[in-house]
């Protein structure tokens, strides 16, 4: 299964069948119970803004082309928290849906308010 990190317009997360934990960054084991059989699933893309900030000093030459840009931590409806680019008008507690934008050779996820276009 691929997601945006491999150029596919999707957000993947992992689930542990043994203890029902969910997490975002892919691992070969469950960080909660140690099970070596995590499942990778595709997220719905729906969530709620936990925190949001504006980046004015981009960390790489590629991202300087986007600055200033917004970054948000989003509590996804599946139970994990993910950090991604965000539309400029988003605020804490807004209900959001992930969209995807092409940036050079990359496809990056970008949050927008539920009901708005990506
Ligand atoms: Zn587990």
Domain that holds residue 97: 4-113
Ligand 1: distance of its center to the CA of 96 in Å? 28
Helices (H) then strands (E): counts for the chain = 1, 8
Ligand 1: distance of its center to the CA of 76 in Å? 19
Full-prediction pTM beyond 0.75? yes
Residue 118 counted as domain residue:
no
Residue 24 counted as domain residue:
yes
Residue 9 counted as domain residue:
yes
Ligand 1: distance of its center to the CA of 40 in Å? 13
Check residue 28 and give its pLDDT: 95
Of 73, 69, 76, the residue nearest 97 (C-alpha): 76
Q: Which residues of 8-45 are buried (b: 16+ CB within 10 A; e: fewer)?
A: ebbbbbbbbeeeebbbbeeeeebeeeeeeebeeeebeb
> For position 88, which CATH number holds?
2.40.50
Give the total number of structural domains in the chain. Answer: 1
pLDDT in 10s for each residue of the chain, 118 residues: 788 888 888 899 999 999 999 999 999 999 999 999 999 999 999 999 999 999 999 888 888 888 999 999 999 999 999 998 888 889 999 999 988 877 766 677 777 777 665 4
């Amino acid at each position: 299964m691929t997601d945006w990190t491999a150029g596919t317009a999707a957000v993947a997360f992992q689930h542990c069948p043994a203890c029902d934990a969910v997490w975002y960054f892919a691992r070969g084991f469950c960080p909660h119970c140690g099970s070596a059989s995590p499942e990778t699933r595709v997220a719905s893309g729906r969530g709620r803004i936990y925190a949001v900030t504006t980046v004015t000093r981009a960390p790489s030459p590629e991202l300087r082309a986007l600055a200033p840009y917004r970054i948000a931590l989003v509590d996804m409806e599946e139970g994990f928290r993910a950090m991604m680019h965000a539309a400029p008008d988003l605020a804490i507690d807004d209900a959001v849906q992930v969209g995807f934008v092409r940036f050079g050779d990359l496809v990056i996820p970008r949050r927008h308010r539920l009901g708005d276009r990506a």
